[in-house]
A and B are shown apart, each in its own frame.
Chain A
Amino acid sequence: AQSVSQHNHHVILSEAASLELGCNYSYGGTVNLFWYVQYPGQHLQLLLKYFSGDPLVKGIKGFEAEFIKSKFSFNLRKPSVQWSDTAEYFCAVNAPQAGTALIFGKGTTLSVSS
Chain B
Amino acid sequence: DAGVTQSPTHLIKTRGQQVTLRCSPKSGHDTVSWYQQALGQGPQFIFQYYEEEERQRGNFPDRFSGHQFPNYSSELNVNALLLGDSALYLCASSGGQGRFGEAFFGQGTRLTVV
Chain A residues proximal to chain B, CB less than 8 Å: 4, 6, 32, 34, 36, 42-46, 49, 90, 92, 94, 96, 99-107
A42 touches which of B31, B43, B107 (Cβ 8 Å):
B107
CB of B49 to closest CB in A, whole Å: 11
Which chain A residues lie closer than 8 Å to B7 at the CB level? none
Contact of A99 among B4, B43, B55 (CB under 8 A): B55
Given A44-B90, A100-B48, are A105 and B42 neighbors across the interface (CB < 8 Å)? yes
Contacts A32-B100, A44-B90, A96-B100 given: A103-B107 contact, CB under 8 Å?
no
The count of residues in chain B whose C-beta lies closer than 8 Å to any C-beta of chain A is 26
Interface residue? B25 (CB, 8 A): no
A90: chain B residues at CB < 8 Å are: 42-43
Of the candidates A6, A92, A99, the one having the most CB atoms from chain B within 10 angstroms of its own CB is A99
Asked if A102 and B56 sit within 8 Å, CB to CB, the answer is no
Q: How far is the CB of A79 from chain B (nearest CB, A)?
A: 25
List 20 contacting pairs A-B, 8 Å CB cutoff, sorted by A.
Answer: A4-B42, A32-B100, A43-B4, A43-B106, A43-B107, A46-B103, A92-B42, A94-B100, A99-B55, A99-B56, A100-B48, A100-B55, A101-B56, A101-B58, A103-B45, A104-B42, A104-B43, A104-B44, A106-B40, A107-B42
**Which single member of B41, B105, B106 contacts A106 (CB below 8 Å)?**
B41
Q: Is B108 an interface residue (CB 8 A)?
A: yes
Q: Which residues of A contact B41 (CB under 8 A)?
A: 106-107
Flag whether B33 is at the interface (Cβ < 8 A). Answer: yes
Please list the 6 inter-chain residue pairs (A to B) with the smallest Cβ-Cβ separation, ordered nearest first. A104-B42, A44-B105, A101-B45, A99-B56, A100-B100, A43-B107
In the complex, residue of chain A having the shortest beta-carbon distance to the beta carbon of B37: A104
A103 to B106, alpha carbons, bound, how many Å? 17
The residue on B at minimum CB distance from A104 is: B42
Does B1 count as interface, using CB distance less than 8 angstroms?
A: no
> What is the CA–CA distance of A104 and B105 in the complex, to the nearest angstrom?
13
Q: Is B102 part of the contact surface with A, judged by Cβ < 8 Å?
A: yes
Residue of B nearest to A4 (CB): B42
